[in-house]
Structure 1
Amino acid sequence: MENMKHETEHSIRLTSPEMASLWTSYQSDTMAICVLKYMLEEVEDSQIKTVFEYALELANTHIQTITGIFKEENFPIPAGFTDEDVDLTAPRLFSDTYWLKYLHVMTIHGLTGYAVALTTATRSDIRDYYTECNRSSTELYNKTIEALLSKGIFQRPPYISTPDKVEFVKKQSFLNGWFGDRRPLNSVEISNIFFNLNKDTVNRALQIGFSQVAKSNEIRDFMLRGADITFKHIEVFSSILHENDLPSALRLESEITNCIVPPFSDKLMMYHTQILVAAAIAFFGAGMAACMRRDLAVQYQRIITETQLYAEDGVNILIKNGWMEQVPQADDRKALAYI
């Protein structure tokens, strides 16, 4: 009976969300393998290296599992990224400190993606796979934060006083932002602002580093433009925190070396930038939805619009260079009717 049930479940086709999750995971994990291999060639700290080795082991396991599912489904294996997209002999581009903070942020992105993948999957084997991805990525997240704490380089979010009692909002002025007295930030707003600010510091350093090593002038200009945009976002978020006498995130530009030899292909660097930009838009949106001051919502909206325009230009560069693999899409019934 168990074998029959297993065979029946595996004869069910992949749904579009399952297909999307597996395809996206394949792209991200093949990219991660390239980046992690390079990291392991450059990292000197033994504790940090152990964390990266675990991350690489996970990424390789993911690719093996997804490839097996694709073969069972007669699904074409995506091109993704290969050893041609990384130069393991390239000099160090970032310090150990930066790479550890980078991996910490990327693990947060992975956990977010795996949660969505699990909750949109139906087939038991796909749910089992993403359940394991969530478990192992949580372990990786804990390893990164423990390493950051032990090295004394993890910046805790701002502290605020513990409330004395339960209170309820009594005035509409609670929503004020532009006019009248502005109330202090609440803990939810602080959490989202600091979270997005912290990720922006990692993203900006990556964009500057990529600008130093990009082969194409077009890619170099795109990275520098992104660094300028991210700088403005850092200034906005930092000023909001400072207005409330709260600390902002530490900057990471000093963790970039003077390397000008590209460790990664322009294709990989463009794709990497695009997935970080897409994630940023999603997290900015979450921050806007959770804020309760009108001025904060307007700031988020402006930042999202600016980031979306930048992302669109990035997509155009990928398409122009033939680097944008097409996501599986629905059949065009009208086009099929006229074949």
Structure 2
Amino acid sequence: MEKSIHDARLTSSEIANLWTQYMNDSMSICVMKHFLIHAQDEEVKSILEFALELSHRHLDKIKIFLEGDQYPVPIGFTDDDVDLEAPPIFSDKLVIHYMYIMTVHGLSGYAGSLNTSIREDQVEYFIECNKEAMELYRRITKILTEKGLIDRPPNINPPEKPTVVKKQSYLTGWFGKRRPLNAIEVSGIYFNMKKDVIKICMEMASRQMTKNKELQDFFKRGEKICDKQFDTFNKMLSESNLPSTSKLDDQVLNTTTPVFSDKLMLFHVLNLLSTAAGYYGVALALSQRRDLGASYLAMITEVLKYAEDGMNIMIRKKWMEEPPMFDDRDQLAKKKK
């Protein structure tokens, strides 16, 4: 009798999806548990409670999936990586904006995981994860809107009728008069600015909390990179007489007590950098003005170099957990029988 697909082993893509989600959710649990203890706003508390419930549920299911395939469960992050008695580091306003960006990351990640899943239980699991993330996103945007905290992208005036591009100058941008940005380009710029805002706050907070001089310098460098890229985006919008999004630096509190372990803070910043490079790549592909493409390429290069330096610190300090690896056939061949 032919073996059912449900009983088939997890594919490498499915293991990668589960491993990555376990690392991210175990980190998120540490962060959200601390946020929840110090949250003052009841609606912000409700978001954190719901998100925490989802993350705990995910870890339980991932353990079952991996153990069922006799695959080791990642170390991830634990209560040892957070001091729940430490003072707050983010205001409630910054917490809800942070949760907004992290939920967007989750939506993108779950969509990718679903697209690379084959086994029936994996497909069903990531469909459910997507539904949960969509509900979390709905709740967060509702709160942001009702509290007047959401920065809406610029409005656009409708043309009299649809038109077609008539000149090659539509693509130029380095020399001479630049055409105004189109809605697709502004969407990418505006959203990437929102992500930069959270990266800056996370790097600022991490620099305050760590006692390690090397990490302080690393996080400071990240702040400068993100500030520069934010200003580049701001200039793009300003040239088309469009408003920018607001920064939230003032919502990082003055706590210097280490809330999170150095390992967690560095992992978190590297995680944000990884997703930033991905979103920059998407915006690059959709930008139709050459100068925008060149700017995104420069940003991606800068972010990836910075991220590589952070990964080298992780490796040197033995903090970097190795992702699922294929066998090294040359090494296997050298093993003595």
| TM-score between the two structures when normalised by the length of structure 1 | 0.97
Aligned-pair distance for 1:10? 3.5
Does 1:41 pair with 2:37?
Answer: yes
Match among 101, 108, 115 for residue 112 of structure 1: 108
Match among 6, 12, 21 for residue 17 of structure 2: 21
Structure 2 match to 1:150 = 146
Structure 2 match to 1:169 = 165
Match among 326, 329, 332 for residue 330 of structure 1: 326
Structure 2 match to 1:247 = 243
Q: Secondary structure at the match of 1:312?
A: helix
Q: Distance in 2 between matches of 1:215 and 1:336?
A: 42
Q: Distance in 2 between matches of 1:314 and 1:255?
A: 25
Task: Name structure 2 gaps, 5 residues minimum.
Answer: none
Q: Distance in 2 between matches of 1:265 and 1:98?
A: 20
Aligned-pair distance for 1:163? 2.0
Structure 2 match to 1:59 = 55
Deviation digits for residues 184-228 of structure 1, max 9, x if unmatched?
Answer: 000000000000011101110111011000121111111111000
Q: Distance in 1 between matches of 2:288 and 2:5?
A: 46
Aligned-pair distance for 1:247? 0.6
Q: Distance in 1 between matches of 2:186 and 2:17?
A: 31
Q: Secondary structure at the match of 2:4?
A: helix
How many residues align structurally? 335
Structure 1 match to 2:119 = 123
Contact 2:280 2:300 in 1 (8 A): yes
Q: Secondary structure at the match of 1:274?
A: helix
Aligned-pair distance for 1:333? 1.0
Deviation digits for residues 100-122 of structure 1, max 9, x if unmatched?
Answer: 00000000000000000000000
Q: Secondary structure at the match of 1:247?
A: coil
Map 1:153-232 onto structure 2 (within 5 A). 153-232=149-228
Does 1:256 pair with 2:249?
Answer: no
Amino acid at match of 1:68: I
Q: Distance in 1 between matches of 2:23 and 2:102?
A: 14
Q: Distance in 1 between matches of 2:173 and 2:296?
A: 13
Contact 2:190 2:244 in 1 (8 A): yes
Q: Distance in 1 between matches of 2:36 and 2:135?
A: 19
More off after superposition, 94-103 vs 159-168: 159-168
Does 1:274 pair with 2:270?
Answer: yes
Which contiguous aligned blocks of 4+ residues in structure 1 show a shift greater than 3 angstroms? none
| TM-score between the two structures when normalised by the length of structure 2 | 0.98
Q: Distance in 2 between matches of 1:266 and 1:164?
A: 56
Aligned-pair distance for 1:8? 2.8
Amino acid at match of 1:256: V
Task: Name structure 1 gaps, 5 residues minimum.
Answer: none
Q: Distance in 2 between matches of 1:277 and 1:210?
A: 14
Q: Distance in 2 between matches of 1:74 and 1:212?
A: 41
Contact 2:15 2:66 in 1 (8 A): no
Aligned-pair distance for 1:181? 2.0
Deviation digits for residues 223-256 of structure 1, max 9, x if unmatched?
Answer: 1110000000000000110111101110100101
Structure 2 match to 1:133 = 129
Q: Distance in 2 between matches of 1:25 and 1:83?
A: 18
Structure 2 match to 1:291 = 287
Aligned-pair distance for 1:180? 2.5
Match among 69, 80, 85 for residue 84 of structure 1: 80
Q: Distance in 1 between matches of 2:216 and 2:127?
A: 39
Does 1:103 pair with 2:128?
Answer: no
Q: Distance in 2 between matches of 1:225 and 1:14?
A: 40
